[in-house]
Structure 1
Amino acid sequence: MPITHDTSFLEHMPQNVAIQFLDRVATSGSKEAFRFPRGDAWESVTWSQAGDRVRRLAAGLLSLGLEPEQRVGIASSTRYEWILADLAIMCAAGATTTVYPSTGAEDTAYIVGDSECRFVFAEDATQLEKLQAHRDELPGLDKVISFDEGLADGQFVLSMDALAELGDAYLAEHPDAIESVSKEIRPDQLATLIYTSGTTGRPKGVRTLHRAWVFEGEAIKAQDILNEDDLQFLWLPMAHSFGKVLLSTQLACGFATAIDGRVEKIVDNLGVVKPTFMGAAPRIFEKAHARIVTMQAAEGGAKEKIFKKAFEVGTKVDALKMAGKPVPLPLKVQHALFDKLVFSKVRERFGGRVKFFISGSAALNAEIAQWFHAAGILILEGYGMTENAAGATVNHPDQYKIGTVGMPFPGTEVRIGDGGEVQLKGPHIMAGYHNRDEATAEAMTADGWLRTGDKGELDADGFLRITGRIKELFKTSGGKYIAPPAIEAKFKAICPYVSQFMVFGAERNFVVALITLDPDAIAGWAAENEMGGTDYTELVRSEKVRSMIGDYVDELNSQLNRWETIKKWELLDHDLTIESGELTPSLKVKRSVVEANNEDLIASFYG
C-alpha cells in the first residue's frame, strides 16, 4: 500500500521565504544552523546568529533603495556567504538571480543585464572582473557587494561588512523594517530567476515564486523524511535549483547544514562532518563506487575475494527482503559477518552516520544504487527540474523502489501525456521564462501542465520511472529506436574506469560511442600495470588501455539487443569538464556540445 501524506500543510504554509526563515530563527534560535570551513577548522553559527547577520544585510539592501521583486545577482560558488546573501535578498523582498561561478564573462553580463539586476554579490576578483569588463552594457547595475573584503572601494564595490553597517544605520531609524517588509511579500511574488544552462542558445531565466520554494520545503517536512536532529552536508551549486531546494527544506525542517562547495573535498569532508544525509548528482556516486571497487581490485588476493563474496551475499539478502521473503539463518549469519568486515568500512568512508543520500539532476544507474544498498547505504532518487523548483517526485526512506524516482510530492500531480511525456502540475510550477513569452507557451500544455521533455511511466503503486529524454531518443537508419541513457548507464555499472560514455547514431546504420576515463581511476590502474606516471593522453592512446576498455565494451554488447550494440568507439584525449562547456555545473553532459566538438571523429566512424 502506498504511503498517503496529509496535504493539510498546504493551508498553513508560511506566506513567503522571508517569513519561513524568520519563523525558523524564532523557533530554533540557539540551535546550530550552519557550519563552514575557516582554514583547516570548521566554524559554526546558530539560527539566531545567522538571523542577525541576514537582518543587517537585508536592511543594508533596503537602505540602498532595493524595491520589491527587483533582481539581485549572486555570482559565487557554494559557501555560507551565498546563503546569507540569498536570505537577505528574500528578507528585503528582492529576487535572487543566480550566476554559476564558472559562467564566462559574456554570459554573466547577459544574465545580469537580462534580469535587470540592480546589485550583484560577487565572490572574488574573478567574478568582479567579469562585471567590470562589461560595465558599459549594464547601466542598471548600481553596486557590487564582494565576499572578499579586500576588493571594496567604498563606491561601486562594497564589502559585506559595509553593507551590514548600512543596515545598522537603517534599522536604527526603522527598527521593524524587516518584519514589515516580509509581511508584505505575497506568495505569488517573484523570489528567484535561475538561468538554465541551456545546451543551445542563450540561457533562459526561470521565474520561481515564493510560493514554490516554501511549498517544496514544507512538502518534504510533511513526508517526515528529515527533522531538526539531522545534519546535512551541502556541496551542490547553490546557483542550481537542487541546491536551492535543499535550503528551503532546511528552513522548513530546522536541521543544521555543513557547507563546502569544493567538489574535490566531498569525500574528505564527509569523514569529518559525519552528516546524516546529502544531496548529490549521480556522478558523485559513480565515482565513489568506481574508487572503492578499483581499490579492492588493486588489493587482490583474499581481500578482493571477501569483498566480492560480501556483495554477492548482500545482493541475495536484499532480493529476499524486497520480495518480502524471510532470510535463511545461514545467510543471515554470513551477512552479519560481511557487514562487519566489508560493509561497515564502506559506510565509514561516508562518515558512518548517513541515513540516506538523495540523488537528483540526472538519472542514477539502478545497478550502482543496488550496490550501495547492499552495503547498507540507501540512495533515494528524486526527480524534477528548475521549471518546477527542483522537486517533483522522491522516494521515501520507508517506501522506495530502486530504479524509480519515487512518488509525486503531496499536493502535486504527475501524468503521462502524449508520446509518453512526463507532465507536472502543482504549486511548485514556474511563472514562466523571463522575457520569453514564446518559450513559456511552448513549455506548458493547453490545459496548464508543465511539459518536462522527459519520457516516463507510472506503475500501479504511483512510482514514476524515467525512461529517457524525448529529444535524446533517436532512430537508426534501420528504423530501430535507441535510448542512449539506458546503454550509457549499463556501461558505467560495468566499467569502474569510465567517466563518461556517450552513444550516437541518429539516422545512421549502426551505433557508436565516445568514451572518457576518470583521471584518478585510470592513474590507479596505470600504477598497477607498470605505467605509473604516464599522463592521461598517453594512457588513452596506449594499446594496453584500449584493449582493457575494449573488453568492457564487449561485455556491454553481450547485454544489448543486436541493433543497440556499439560497433565502433573511441577514447577522447580529455575528460569532460564544466570549464570546457561540455558539462553543466550540475555535472550533466551537454550532448549536443560534445557531438559538435567531435563532429569529424563521429563522421569518420561511418567513413
Structure 2
Amino acid sequence: LAELGVARGDRVGILSQTRPEWGLVDLAVLHLGAVSVGIYPTLLADEVAYLVDHASIEVLFVEDAEQLAKLDAADGLRGRLRQVVVLDGPCEGALSLAAIEARGQAAPDGAGRFEAAWRAVGPDDLATLIYTSGTTGRPKGAMLTHGNLCYVVHAGAEVLPHRPSDVSVAFLPMAHALQRAAFYGALLTGAVGYYAASTQTLMDDIREVEPTVQVSVPRLWEKLHARLEATVGTLPPRRRRIFAWGLAVGREAAPYRKRGVPLPLSLRARYALACRLVHDPLKRRVFGRRIRYLTSGGAPVDPEILEYFYALGLLVLEGWGLTETAAPATLNLPRSFKFGSVGKPLAGTEVRVAEDGELLVRGPGVFRGYYRDPEATEAAFTEDGFFRTGDIGTIDADGFVFVTDRKKNLIVLSNGKNIAPQKIENLLGSIPLVGNALVHGDRRNYLVALLTPDVEEAARWARARGLEASEDPASLAALPEFRAAIDAAVREKNAALPRFEQVKKWVLLGEVWNPEGGELTPTLKLKRRVIEERHRALLDGLYAG
C-alpha cells in the first residue's frame, strides 16, 4: 500500500464479499495508519459511487470483474480513484493483488518501514469508516478509532470463554461491524476462522468445519428453527414422538441448567437418555461435534426460539450493539444469561434508559461521530455524552438489557396503541413456509402484513403433497393449497397475540426479498421504506372499504 502512495489518514475502500483477502487488506490499511472503508458488494453502481465520493476513497480494492464493472457504470468514478486493485485479477486497467504484494516485497527496507508505520498508530487515530445500512435513507459513515475497536475486542474476550483451538465460520459481510469485531477477536484469541463459500452453502460449510463457536444474525436462527420444525413434521410417527419427548425433557431440565445446579435424580437419567437419542445427534447433524455456544446480534430473537434451542442443547447468546458502538455494547454469557435480553453492558460501558424509553450508551466503544455530518453527530448525543441508539428498551433489576424494537419502527395505531412490529414479524417469520414478513399500520385502524414464501421450504412442502412446484416464488404463491396453508398458519399465530397486535389482513407476495433486490440490508434486516413504497397501492388497498 505504501508503494502505491497510501499514507496515514488516506481512505482505502474494499468492495468484496467476505473472504480471506478482505481481512488481509484491512489489516494492511490499519497497520499503515490509513482508514479502511468497507463497501457491501450487493450495492448498485450509483450507491458505490456515493460511498467512494463521500468517504474520499483514493484506492479501491474490488473483488472481481463484476464489481469492477460498477466503476465503469458510474459515470467517471474510475477516474476519481488514484488506483484500483482487483483481488481476483488481473483485469484490464487495474492492478492485481499479486502485483502489489510483489511491489511490497521488493520495497527497500520494507520490514523497517512496516515496523515504524504500525508503531506510529495511536488509539485516537481513525481506523475505519463503517457505513450504516441505510434502512431509511442515505447511509452515514460512523468514524471508529483504533481505541474503539481494541476496547470492544478486549472487553469481549475478557468475558466470553475462548480457547486457542476455537474454530468459527465467517459469512456475514466484513463491511458490517459485527463480522469485523468477530474477525479481530479471533486474531486476539488465536481462534481459527474459515470462510463460507456462500450464504447458500453456509450450513453445509458449518457441518464440514464443525465450529466450536459461531456468530450469526437472528434470521439464521429463525429459519433453522422453522426448518427443524418442518423436518420433524415429515418424520415417521415413532421418531416424531421421540423428538417431542426429547424436547420436553430438555425443557424440564432447562431451569436447573440455567441456574447451574444438579438435576433432580428423577430427571437425571431421562435427560441423559434425551441427550443420547435426540440432542447430541441433532447437534452433530447441524453444527458438528464440537459446538459449545452460538452468538446472535443485529436484532432481537424471539425468546421462544432461544428456549427451543436450549432445550435441545444449543445455547444461543444474544448481544446488542450498533455500528456506532463498534458492535457489542452488551453480551449474554454462558454462565450469566437471560433469554429475551441482550445481556449486560461490557465492563466500562454504561447503558441507561431515556424518559421516552430510548436506550442510551456511553463508553470507550462509542464512535467519534458521523463523517462529514456534524448535524447528525450533534443530534446523536445527549448533553452528557450518551449516544442515542434509536432502540427502545428496558433494564431489569439484575442489569440485563432488553430491546423492544427500533424507535423509528414503532407503529402507533389510530387508537393510540403503540406496537413494536418486530415481535409480530418474528412470530410470522417462524412459520416454516414464510420467508419474510413486514407488518404495517402506523396511524391506521389495524395491522396488515406482507409475506413472502420461503421458496426452498415451500417447494419441498408442495412436492410432498403431490403438487407440481418449482422454486419460482410467483408459481408457489399462486398455488391455492399453499395459500390456504399460509392463511391457516397466520391465523394460528394471531391467536397467540393480544387483539390489538393481531394482523387483520395479509397478502402473500409472489417474490422473495434479499439484499440484491434492495428489500433487505446485507445483514438481512427489512428495508421498510423501500418495501412499503414498492407496495404502497397494495397496502392502501388492504384498508379500503
TM-score by length of 2: 0.96
Q: CA separation in 2, counterparts of 1:323 and 1:82?
A: 41
- Partner of 2:201, secondary structure, is helix
Superposed CA RMSD in Å reads: 1.6
**Measured at CA, do residues 511 and 224 of structure 1 come closer, stay the same or move farther in structure 2, by a change above 3 Å?**
closer
Q: CA separation in 2, counterparts of 1:350 and 1:465?
A: 28
Q: CA separation in 1, counterparts of 2:396 and 2:326?
A: 24
Q: CA separation in 2, counterparts of 1:312 and 1:215?
A: 41
Tell me the equivalent position of 2:64. Answer: 124
What percent of counterpart residues are identical? 38
Moved more, 545-554 or 374-383: 545-554
Tell me the equivalent position of 2:355. Answer: 418
Candidates 146, 149, 154, aligned match of 1:213: 149
Counterparts of 1:212-361 in structure 2 under 5 Å?
Answer: 212-260=148-196, 262-322=198-258, 327-348=263-284, 349-361=286-298
Q: CA separation in 2, counterparts of 1:135 and 1:599?
A: 32
Contact 1:71 1:116 in 2 (8 A): yes
Candidates 17, 20, 24, aligned match of 1:84: 24
Candidates 567, 574, 580, aligned match of 2:517: 580
Tell me the equivalent position of 2:406. Answer: 469
Following TM superposition, by how much is the alpha carbon of 1:160 offset from its aligned partner in structure 2, in angstroms?
1.2
Name segments (4+ residues, structure 1) moved above 6 Å: none
Q: For residues 430-484 of structure 1, what are the alpha-carbon distances to aligned partners after superposition, in whole Å with 9 as ceiling and x for unaligned?
A: 1111111111111111211111100011111111010111111111112211111
Following TM superposition, by how much is the alpha carbon of 1:335 offset from its aligned partner in structure 2, in angstroms?
2.1
Q: CA separation in 2, counterparts of 1:456 and 1:175?
A: 50
Say whether residues 1:528 and 2:459 are aligned partners: no
Tell me the equivalent position of 2:340. Answer: 403
Q: For residues 200-246 of structure 1, what are the alpha-carbon distances to aligned partners after superposition, in whole Å with 9 as ceiling and x for unaligned?
A: 33221111111111111111122142231211211111011111111
Candidates 495, 498, 516, aligned match of 1:561: 498
Contact 2:148 2:364 in 1 (8 A): yes
Q: CA separation in 2, counterparts of 1:425 and 1:606?
A: 43
Following TM superposition, by how much is the alpha carbon of 1:320 offset from its aligned partner in structure 2, in angstroms?
4.4
Following TM superposition, by how much is the alpha carbon of 1:135 offset from its aligned partner in structure 2, in angstroms?
6.1
Tell me the equivalent position of 1:393. Answer: 330
Tell me the equivalent position of 1:440. Answer: 377
What amino acid is the match of 2:265?
L
Contact 2:197 2:205 in 1 (8 A): no
Tell me the equivalent position of 1:20. Answer: none
- Partner of 1:515, secondary structure, is strand
- Partner of 2:328, secondary structure, is coil
Tell me the equivalent position of 1:44. Answer: none
Tell me the equivalent position of 1:367. Answer: 304
Tell me the equivalent position of 1:74. Answer: 14
Tell me the equivalent position of 1:45. Answer: none
Candidates 76, 88, 93, aligned match of 1:148: 88
- Partner of 1:299, secondary structure, is coil
Counterparts of 1:141-220 in structure 2 under 5 Å?
Answer: 141-151=81-91, 153=92, 156-170=93-107, 172-220=108-156
Tell me the equivalent position of 1:115. Answer: 55
Structure 1 alignment gaps of length 5 or more? 1-60
Q: For residues 150-180 of structure 1, what are the alpha-carbon distances to aligned partners after superposition, in whole Å with 9 as ceiling and x for unaligned?
A: 31x4xx511111101111222x345411110
Candidates 59, 64, 71, aligned match of 2:4: 64
Contact 1:387 1:429 in 2 (8 A): yes
Following TM superposition, by how much is the alpha carbon of 1:582 offset from its aligned partner in structure 2, in angstroms?
0.5
- Partner of 2:327, secondary structure, is coil
Q: CA separation in 1, counterparts of 2:252 and 2:20?
A: 43
What amino acid is the match of 2:95?
L
- Partner of 2:287, secondary structure, is coil
TM-score by length of 1: 0.87
Q: CA separation in 1, counterparts of 2:383 and 2:78?
A: 37
What amino acid is the match of 2:55?
S
Q: CA separation in 2, counterparts of 1:278 and 1:352?
A: 13
Contact 2:31 2:117 in 1 (8 A): yes
Q: For residues 286-337 of structure 1, what are the alpha-carbon distances to aligned partners after superposition, in whole Å with 9 as ceiling and x for unaligned?
A: 1212222211211231111211222122112113444677644343322222
What amino acid is the match of 2:271?
H
- Partner of 1:568, secondary structure, is strand
Say whether residues 1:454 and 2:394 are aligned partners: no
Q: CA separation in 1, counterparts of 2:77 and 2:168?
A: 40
Q: CA separation in 1, counterparts of 2:80 and 2:451?
A: 45
Q: For residues 554-594 of structure 1, what are the alpha-carbon distances to aligned partners after superposition, in whole Å with 9 as ceiling and x for unaligned?
A: 22222111222111111011121111100000111111211
Moved more, 549-558 or 94-103: 549-558
- Partner of 1:345, secondary structure, is helix
